[in-house]
């Protein structure tokens, strides 16, 4: 039997910068470095980026501010925050905690792949220019029974050790190291890619919009990318917001965090697409871009092995800054609601998440013939449930709760710290959280099920 530790005091961020870097790190993940470049490449480059920026403000900023305000007001985890304000709405927080738990189980598997590729890049194992050979190499690796599981365990252990240090000593300290390093690496890579012969065509493709390519598919793709890129709907920002003091300017933070996330995504696009164009590869190469196409590109660049090492370390940092926020959502819930000791909670949850992730890894190889939902294996089933159900529902219900149940007046009172801070976008934000946000997310939700 576990006895509640009633003497545990809730931690707080050591500084405003620490919170912003940690929150931005939560948002910055594999979706920025892997998904954004190929989604932009597939959806018209500059046309996609333009639509993405518009939606970033209309939806991203709106939900980000709502989640942070909800967390700081209640000083509780995702479930506790909803329960404190309206008992019957606690299930919405439950959707977020479940989403974080399930997402981390297969996200950690991919994180393990990244660690393997960091090692391969350091040892020269990726110095191959033939995409077909690289594709076979990747396929053989993920299909192996034990090797990906070992790397999955290493990634979970790194995540666990950071979260074990607590909010200030673990998450904030790690974010203060990894996020500046991440920005430094991505800027160097972008500069190198842009200066490649022919690379300027990739820059034009990414940044110069062709308005004729803007259609409903591009709009929906940008909407989905914004929503899932910012870690919204899974309790991360509620949890991180709960560690804030009253002196934090929430509107300012809710603008800076999405902008940091988007800056990384754009820099990733500038690091990837000019290089892809320079060597004649397909900009819409799809999910294989990071593990197959890019290693082929790096092998043909001067000092390519060095840039490959930098790139995969960059991807690892991005994966870790997101994984620690996902684990923290689950840890905060158990510590707050059950009163467990933080260290015991972290070890227990990390172990459970690792165990649930093992079938996701095996589904790429030995268990490939085991199907759960339709023709989906464990990995794809986890992904489908989180991406198509839990996150959109969590975001939709967040808008309804803050806009209509808790109420925008109460939310703005928290945001402005009882009127002591100015919030110039008050009227616009109320309209967005009540009407635009729910409709936009509902569209994504319905589309994801078709």
Please give the domain boundaries of the chain with CATH numbers for all domains. 16-448 (1.10.4160)
Burial (CB count within 10 angstroms: exposed 0-12, middle 13-18, buried 19+), residue 383: middle
Tell me how far CA of residue 74 lies from CA of 325, 380, 426, in angstroms. 19, 35, 21
Cβ partners under 8 Å of residue 390, min gap 6? 95, 96, 98, 99, 102, 233, 234
State the Cα–Cα distance between residues 89 and 5, nearest whole angstrom.
Answer: 26
End-to-end CA distance of the chain: 46
pLDDT of residue 247: 82
Going through 202-246 in order, the beta strands assigned E by DSSP cover none
**The whole model's pTM is what?**
0.91
What's residue 287's pLDDT? 60
* Under 8 Å between Cβ of 362 and 109: no
| Per-residue model confidence (pLDDT) at position 7 | 44
Which residues touch 320 (CB under 8 Å, ≥6 apart)?
111, 155, 158, 159, 162, 174, 178
CA 345 to chain centre: 23
Query: Quick check: 18 and 175 in contact, CB under 8 A?
Result: yes
At residue 224, the pLDDT reads: 72
Residue 2 has what pLDDT? 35
Residue with token string 């871009």: 289
Residue 199 has what pLDDT?
A: 83
User: 36 and 211 in contact (C-beta within 8 Å)?
Assistant: no
Q: Residues of the chain whose pLDDT is less than 70? A: 1-9, 227-228, 282-288, 448, 450
What angle, 0 to 180 degrees and rounded to 10, lies between the N-to-C axes of helices 408-415 and 62-74? 80
Of 208, 189, 390, residue with least CA distance to 309: 189
Q: What is the pLDDT of residue 3?
A: 37
Residue count of the chain = 450
Per the listing, tokens 């690792």 go with 354
Percent of the residues in the chain that have a pLDDT greater than 70, as a whole number: 95
CA dihedral 358, 361, 362, 364 (to 10 degrees): 170
Q: How far apart are CA 405 and CA 273, in angstroms?
A: 44
391 contacts 233 by C-beta, under 8 angstroms: yes
- Give the largest CA-CA distance in the chain: 65
Question: What pLDDT does 28 receive?
Answer: 82
What per-residue confidence (pLDDT) applies to 211?
82
pLDDT of 450 reads: 66
Residue 16's pLDDT is: 85
Tell me what pLDDT residue 68 has. 95
CA atoms within 13 A on the CB side of 323: 34
């Amino acid at each position: 039997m576990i006895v509640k530790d009633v003497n545990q005091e809730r931690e707080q961020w050591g500084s405003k910068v620490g919170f912003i870097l940690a929150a931005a790190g939560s948002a910055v993940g594999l979706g920025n470095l892997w998904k954004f470049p190929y989604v932009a490449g597939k959806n018209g480059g500059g046309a996609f980026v333009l639509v993405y920026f518009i939606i970033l403000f209309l939806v991203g900023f709106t939900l980000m501010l709502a989640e942070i305000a909800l967390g700081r007001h209640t000083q509780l985890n995702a479930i506790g925050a909803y329960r404190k304000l309206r008992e019957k709405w606690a299930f919405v927080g439950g959707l977020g905690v479940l989403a974080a738990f399930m997402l981390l189980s297969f996200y950690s598997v991919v994180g393990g792949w990244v660690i393997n590729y960091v090692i391969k890049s350091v040892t020269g194992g990726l110095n191959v220019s033939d995409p077909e050979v690289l594709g076979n190499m990747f396929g053989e690796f993920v299909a192996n029974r034990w090797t990906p599981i070992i790397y999955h365990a290493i990634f979970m252990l790194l995540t666990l050790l950071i979260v074990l240090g607590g909010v200030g000593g673990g998450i904030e300290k790690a974010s203060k190291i990894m996020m500046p390093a991440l920005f430094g690496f991505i800027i160097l890579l972008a500069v190198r890619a842009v200066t490649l012969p022919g690379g300027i065509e990739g820059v034009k493709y990414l940044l110069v919009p062709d308005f004729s390519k803007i259609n409903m598919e591009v709009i929906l793709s940008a909407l989905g990318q914004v929503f899932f890129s910012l870690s919204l709907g899974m309790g991360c920002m509620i949890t991180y917001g709960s560690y804030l003091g009253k002196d934090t300017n929430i509107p300012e933070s809710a603008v800076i965090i999405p902008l940091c996330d988007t800056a990384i995504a754009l820099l990733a696009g500038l690091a990837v697409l000019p290089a892809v164009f320079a060597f004649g590869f397909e900009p819409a190469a799809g999910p294989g871009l990071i593990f197959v196409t890019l290693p082929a590109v790096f092998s043909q660049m001067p000092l390519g092995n060095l840039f490959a090492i930098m790139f995969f370390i960059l991807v690892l940092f991005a994966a870790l800054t997101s994984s620690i926020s996902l684990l923290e959502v689950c840890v905060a819930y158990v510590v707050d609601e059950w009163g467990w000791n933080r260290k015991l909670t972290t070890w227990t949850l990390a172990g459970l998440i690792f165990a649930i992730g093992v079938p996701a890894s095996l589904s790429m190889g030995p268990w490939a013939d085991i199907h759960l939902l339709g023709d989906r294996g464990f990995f794809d089933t986890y992904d489908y449930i989180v991406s198509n159900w839990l996150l959109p529902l969590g975001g939709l219900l967040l808008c309804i709760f803050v806009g209509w149940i808790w109420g925008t007046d109460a939310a703005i009172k928290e945001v402005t710290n009882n009127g002591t801070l100015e919030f110039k976008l008050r009227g616009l934000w109320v309209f967005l959280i009540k009407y635009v946000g729910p409709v936009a997310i509902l569209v994504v939700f319905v589309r994801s099920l078709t």
